[in-house]
Structure 1
Amino acid sequence: MTAAQRAAPRRERARAATIEEIKQTALRLMHEQGTLSVRFTDIARAMDMTPPALYRYFADRDVLLCALITDAYDALGEYVAECREGAPVADLAERWKAVAQAYRDWARREPEQFMLILGMPLPGYAAPTDGPTTEAAKRAMAQLQSLFHEANAQGALRPPIVAEVSAAVEECAAMKNAESPATVSPAHFQAMLHAWASLHGFVMLEINGHFDWIGEAARDALFLGQVRAIAHAAGMPVPDA
């Protein structure tokens, strides 16, 4: 191996390390400044770099945000999947509880990343159509969808409480079912969206401090009640209290 060949991997490792440092610095500044909008000048100053030097790694702010959003979706999806697989395949109630708790725990541990992907849209930023953020979002959200498919395959899905489905929602269900070898009824597709909306609503209230007036033990109990109520409404097996 020539000296040039040995130097190339070192340069690649150094570049990858710098890219990671830029992303971590951006997240830290978001936390410190209390905003998801960060400027290249702030990142460069925190890293003792010049702003033009950052453009060697990210073409602009949107490219950096795209990378951060993709990383966050992937991290959320991987954590939820890991927790889901920690519960027995046959125990769908525990698997749902594990998924819900993982969603909550990750959001509380990584609030900046959670808000980056599932909070208010970032001013001036538009995710590239069918780009890496879209694919990462699908992978993350597939964790909840897979639970409904598992329950359906095991014959464990009951009719959801809200069984009426509009034509518009039926169309969405057909579109999503066409993308996957596993399918659910339009009513259960709707129930799955209701489940996500209910779970997400609780987590957003909590990480934004709106439940701070409730003690930790009370919040945990309230969350478990929410998880059980969601399962009951969706026709999923209900975890024990």
Structure 2
Amino acid sequence: MSPSPRTAPRRERARAATIDEIKQTALALMRERGTVEVRFTDIARVMDMTPPALYRYFADRDELFSALIQDAYEALGETVAKARAEVPPGDVAAAWVAAAQAYRRWAHEEPQQFALILGMPLPDYAAPADGSTTEAAGRAMAQLSSLFVEALHLGQLGPPRIREVHPAVELCARVKHEKHEIEVSPEHFQAMLHAWAPLHGFTSLEANGHFDWMDQAARDALFLGQLRLAAEAAGLPVPS
């Protein structure tokens, strides 16, 4: 007897549900332990499975980490995109603040996912050859880089404070332009990196507890000042 047409979809749904449970269990263990390290044996124990059974869903630890990294980048990108969508069109300064605050908030709410994608490199981890994690990273970070493109199209992108571009950085800008069609000049490509670096630096310091000696109001004020400095240096409209 041939299988019914619904058999395969039901099996696929069950497999997808198990894959999602494995990923959520791995994240839960990371949160519980405050680390990004996790073992198949620990995941299997929590899920009441045998460790070899997990290999039916993930070939090895690297494949699981790659799936978690892609999920984290997608979550970050969606969070920043949602924050930007709440800003009135054309208000680049407000969009910069909204995007940066969303980046910072997500890092605080999801420290293990943040560490997976923007923390220290995972020991002995090899990214997939197909570039899927790199593509996910590009989609997420485009939420920040596209602010410069938007400002350019609106006539709101001024000259960056630092105009000189080292040939090595200019080459990076050219490669990014060819691969991702980033429309800004090498000077503003450099400025994008100059803007992202302090945003990420502040977020990382805060996420790792290095600003815990300051109260929340002080951290918020310091963060907004950092965003204003970064915008001014990069040629973006400066938030009030």
TM-score range, shorter chain: over 0.9
Residue identity opposite 1:95 in structure 2: A
Gapped regions of structure 1 (runs ≥ 5): none
- For 1:105, the equivalent position in structure 2 comes to 105
- For 1:216, the equivalent position in structure 2 comes to 216
Stretches of 4+ aligned residues off by more than 3 angstroms: none
Q: Deviations 1:40-80 (Å, cap 9, x if unpaired)? A: 00100111110011011111111000100000001111111
* 1:60 aligns to 2:60 (yes or no): yes
- Aligned to 1:179, what secondary structure does the other structure show? helix
Cα deviation, residue 182, structure 1: 4.7
Name the % identity: 69
- For 1:138, the equivalent position in structure 2 comes to 138
The answer to whether the Cα contact below 8 Å between 2:77 and 2:139 also exists between their aligned partners in 1 is yes
CA-based RMSD? 1.3
* 1:191 aligns to 2:183 (yes or no): no
Residue identity opposite 2:134 in structure 1: T
Residue identity opposite 1:134 in structure 2: T
TM-score (norm 1): 0.95
After superposition, residues 12-91 of structure 1 pair within 5 angstroms as: 12-91=12-91
Aligned partners of 1:119, 1:68: CA distance in 2, in Å? 14
- Aligned to 2:5, what secondary structure does the other structure show? helix
Aligned partners of 1:46, 1:148: CA distance in 2, in Å? 45
Cα deviation, residue 208, structure 1: 0.4
- For 2:233, the equivalent position in structure 1 comes to 233
TM-score (norm 2): 0.96
Cα deviation, residue 131, structure 1: 2.1
Aligned partners of 1:131, 1:178: CA distance in 2, in Å? 16
Residue identity opposite 1:229 in structure 2: L
Cα deviation, residue 30, structure 1: 1.0
Aligned partners of 2:180, 2:52: CA distance in 1, in Å? 44
Number of equivalenced pairs: 239
Aligned partners of 2:6, 2:143: CA distance in 1, in Å? 41
Gapped regions of structure 2 (runs ≥ 5): none
Aligned partners of 1:6, 1:156: CA distance in 2, in Å? 55
Aligned partners of 2:181, 2:25: CA distance in 1, in Å? 41
Q: Deviations 1:129-171 (Å, cap 9, x if unpaired)? A: 3421011011011111100011111111111111111011111
The answer to whether the Cα contact below 8 Å between 2:176 and 2:182 also exists between their aligned partners in 1 is no
After superposition, residues 168-179 of structure 1 pair within 5 angstroms as: 168-179=168-179
